[in-house]
């Protein structure tokens, strides 16, 4: 009987190497558990990596975004524009600041906010915009900055999926007024736990975010603003420092994998490939997302063949139950984001993904569409 060969390939593969273990144990043994030296070193190194003056670490990407809005003075009834094609936290943070999230639809070719549609949503109440560099592909920052300057509102980059991605040779996160990162366990770099970072060139924003994340402390037992406990733990910062040193190499590898997928899948009419980088944008492929109208069937087929896939995201934010309840949104309100959610399929993407594994995945996709490689 002929043996059927099935590989087991995960969607992502978070790492915890011995150098990270050592850094973690060293930090636990020799530093304060909270706001130890590793936290400040990690912040300095991350700021340098992004090419900004200040970086302030936080307990998550969500808290990085929320504290940024608060530090910018976003308040009750202000409008914060973002896209419904993101993780729900991108819009939640506007609500956390008592502001109103206002959605603008995406350009389906880049998966990111369409600047023309964004401009249509600007009003006298607009206080900030949160462009998302979705899947690690930089948003169209030139147009977004132009609109923000013309109308006088802040730009908070959601770079939670885009550590190291570049736009006109600048790292994303360093282009708007503030940039926010997540170190959640499947991101391009992690801290082996939850964590986040705010980056900025504005000293005052950095100072306020640092206070907000630490209970609004003016001194140890004096609190002059309403703060939160949103600090990054020392042990996680120590791990983050090690991972940051590997980030460029890991991103290079992700780009090479994306290129290979692109070559092997380019002949399939039913598959739309993600946008490529070029002279302006250098993506980091946090996720490798293809689009097909046969998404659910293809996902089931690949999983049957040992290939774990993901859907980012099955629902656009405006159709999440909480948003429908609060704002009465319905299907058809943001058709391109809805189309993305119905057709997007994330294929395995992590630096250690091997050549044979990529070939196997693409072979299975060809088999699904009834084509031979
Ligand atoms: C685009 C985007 N924004 C915000 C967040 C929130 O980050 P965290 O999970 O660290 O709170 C995430 C993380 O999953 C994300 O992908």
Residues 77-134 pLDDT 10s: 999 999 999 999 999 999 999 999 999 999 999 999 999 999 999 999 999 999 999 9
Specify the pLDDT at position 250.
98
Q: What is the model's pLDDT at position 127?
A: 98
The answer to whether the CB of 57 is under 6 A from ligand 1 is no
List the residue whose alpha carbon is closest to atom 8 of ligand 1: 61
Give residue 223's region: left, alpha or beta (phi > 0; psi -120 to 50).
beta
- Which candidate, 333, 314, 331, places its Cα nearest to that of 117? 333
The residues, any chain, with a CB within 8 Å of residue 87's CB and separated by 6 or more, are 160, 312, 313
Model confidence, pTM: 0.97
Over its length of 373 residues, how does the chain's per-residue pLDDT go in tens digits? 566 677 899 999 999 999 999 999 999 999 999 999 999 999 999 999 999 999 999 999 999 999 999 999 999 999 999 999 999 999 999 999 999 999 999 999 999 999 999 999 999 999 999 999 999 999 999 999 999 999 999 999 999 999 999 999 999 999 999 999 999 999 999 999 999 999 999 999 999 999 999 999 999 999 999 999 999 999 999 999 999 999 999 999 999 999 999 999 999 999 999 999 989 999 999 999 999 999 999 999 999 999 999 999 999 999 999 999 999 999 999 999 999 999 999 999 999 999 999 999 999 999 999 964 4
Kindly state if the Cβ of 184 falls inside 6 Å of ligand 1: yes
Q: Is the CB of 196 under 6 A from ligand 1?
A: yes
- Which residues have C-beta within 8 Å of that of residue 294, sequence separation ≥ 6? 270, 368
What is the reported pLDDT for 3?
65
Cis amide linkage into residue 5, ω under 30° from 0: no
* CA 161 to ligand 1: nearest atom: 16
Question: Ligand 1, from 80, 161, 178, 196: best to mutate by most atoms within 8 Å of Cβ?
Answer: 161
CA of 23 to the centre of ligand 1 (A): 25
pLDDT score recorded for residue 6 = 79
Cα of 183 vs centre of ligand 1, distance in Å, is 8
**CA torsion through residues 76, 77, 80, 84, sign:** positive
Q: What separation in Å is there between the alpha carbon of 63 and the centre of ligand 1?
A: 9
How much is the pLDDT for 2? 61
Say how many Å lie between the CA of residue 105 and the centre of ligand 1. 19
What's the rounded Cα separation, in Å, for the pair 202 and 190? 25
pLDDT at 5: 73
User: For a pocket test of ligand 1, which of 57, 61, 289 has the largest count of ligand atoms closer than 8 A to its C-beta?
Assistant: 61
Position 79 scores a pLDDT of 98
pLDDT of residue 372: 47
Is ligand 1 within 6 A of the CB of residue 161? yes
Euclidean distance between the first and the last CA atom of the chain, given in angstroms as a whole number: 24
The closest-lying atom of ligand 1 relative to the alpha carbon of residue 183 is: 10
Please name every residue paired with 346 in a beta bridge, in sequence order, or none if there are none: 289, 310
């Amino acid at each position: 009987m002929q043996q059927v060969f099935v590989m087991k390939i995960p969607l992502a593969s978070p790492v915890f190497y011995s150098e990270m273990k050592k850094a973690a144990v060293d930090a636990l043994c020799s530093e304060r558990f909270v706001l130890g030296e590793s936290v400040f070193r990690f912040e300095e190194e991350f700021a340098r990596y992004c090419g900004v003056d200040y970086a302030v670490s936080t307990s998550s990407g969500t808290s990085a975004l929320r504290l940024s809005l608060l530090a910018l003075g976003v308040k009750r009834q202000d409008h914060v524009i973002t896209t419904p094609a993101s993780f729900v936290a991108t819009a939640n943070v506007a609500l956390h600041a008592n502001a109103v999230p206002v959605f603008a639809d995406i350009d389906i070719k880049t998966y990111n906010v369409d600047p023309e549609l964004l401009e249509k949503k600007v009003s006298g109440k607009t206080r900030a915009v949160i462009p998302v560099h979705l899947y690690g592909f930089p948003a169209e920052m030139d147009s977004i900055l132009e609109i923000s300057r013309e109308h006088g509102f802040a730009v908070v980059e959601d770079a939670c999926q885009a550590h190291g991605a570049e736009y006109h040779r600048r790292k994303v996160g360093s282009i708007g007024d503030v940039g926010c990162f997540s170190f959640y366990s499947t991101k391009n770099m992690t801290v082996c736990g939850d964590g986040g970072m705010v980056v900025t060139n504005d000293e005052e924003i950095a100072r306020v975010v640092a206070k907000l994340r630490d209970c609004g402390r003016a001194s140890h037992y004096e609190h002059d603003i309403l703060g939160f406990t949103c600090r990054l733990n020392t042990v996680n910062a120590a791990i983050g420092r090690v991972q940051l040193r590997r980030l460029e190499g890991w991103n290079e590898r992700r780009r090479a994998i994306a290129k290979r997928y692109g070559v092997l899948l380019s002949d399939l009419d039913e598959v739309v490939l993600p946008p490529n980088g070029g002279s302006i944008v250098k993506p980091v492929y946090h996720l490798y997302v293809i689009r097909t109208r046969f998404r659910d069937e293809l996902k089931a087929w690949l999983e049957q063949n040992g290939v774990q896939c993901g859907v980012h995201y099955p629902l656009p934010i405006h159709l999440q139950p909480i948003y429908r309840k609060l704002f009465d949104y319905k299907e058809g309100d943001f058709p391109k984001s809805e189309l993305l959610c119905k057709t997007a399929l994330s294929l395995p993407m992590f630096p250690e993904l091997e050549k044979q594994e990529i070939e196997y995945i693409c072979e299975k996709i060809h088999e699904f569409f009834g084509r031979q490689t």
